[in-house]
Amino acid sequence: MPTLEVLAYAKLNLSLDVLGRRPDGYHDMRMVMQTVALCDAIRLETGTGRPLSMRSSLGFLPADGRNLAAAAALALAEETGADYGGLAIALDKHIPVCAGMAGGSADAAAVLRGLNALSGLGLTPERLEEIGAKVGSDVPYCVRGGTVLAEGRGEVLTDLPPLPACWAVICKPPFPVSTPELFRALDALRIRRRPDTAGLIAALDAGDLAGVARRMYNVFEDALPPRRAGEIQRLKNELVQQGALGACMTGTGSAVFGLFGSEAPARQAKAALEELCPTCFAVKTAGKLV
């Protein structure tokens, strides 16, 4: 039976701005997204002769269409008429859940890329992104990867000059943040500070890593409950004290990251931060995926 192993790469938000609530209930976003080399591993097997099956290394994750990886396979079949002859998906999770790193969307995107290759569908990256948008707002970006301006719900993508090669130290504190609650809190706020998205893009144009790092900001940090806001700020401060060029929360959290110019200081910072936050990663940034 044909099999393929694919990697699902996490994303970080170098900036995140919420422009307002839309009539359809979604929000208009303006975000600069970046792929990093922290990834889940997915094994796809077609021709099983059985209904779609899915298993995950994390037993609490859904193993049906509620899981975005399975939802992506179903959406691809519906959009293209593809017949997998039975499909099994095995998911080995490494991207933290409830972290703001698009772990589920990355899995969905990897399934779309993998089944496109395994089934010989020959779909363009743009078509995969269109199908991905039906699965989740972050899926089109996760199909593409790299350094990208994401607008609309997150599905309107514009390639940006790549972030200069660097390392990210990512800290996932031991608590989740509710995305719906955070959006509701943000809707009730007068946003005091917004990211300098134009300045960040100009720094990317100039290849200025320090300039990018100085301009990183996420408006959701203002909407966090006070206790959580303090814990996020503490991690950001510690990352900077350990040598990060800048630090920011990604997505709706709760993961926080700092950018480092090279591997050695990043690994030293990771070792220091593990005392404060045991779930830490030091990873390279990555480029486009398609």
Cα separation, 14 vs 88, in Å, equals 35
Alpha carbons 275 and 264: distance in angstroms, whole number: 18
Among all chains, which residue has been given the structure tokens 């706020």? Answer: 189
Beta strands (DSSP E) in the chain are 3-21, 27-46, 53-56, 87-92, 147-152, 156-159, 167-171, 217-218, 246-249, 256-260, 280-284
Residue pair 11/107 in contact by the 8 Å Cβ criterion: no
Core vs surface per residue 144-159: b (16+ CB within 10 A) or e: bbbbbbbbbbbbebee
Calculate helix-pair angle for 103-118, 68-80, nearest 10 degrees: 40
* 250: helix, strand or coil: coil
Number of Cβ within 10 Å of residue 120's Cβ equals 9
- Which residue numbers are catalytic? 11, 138
Q: What distance in Å separates the CA atoms of residue 57 and residue 44, rounded to the nearest whole number?
A: 15
CB-neighbour burial class of residue 289 (10 A; exposed 0-12, middle 13-18, buried 19+)? buried
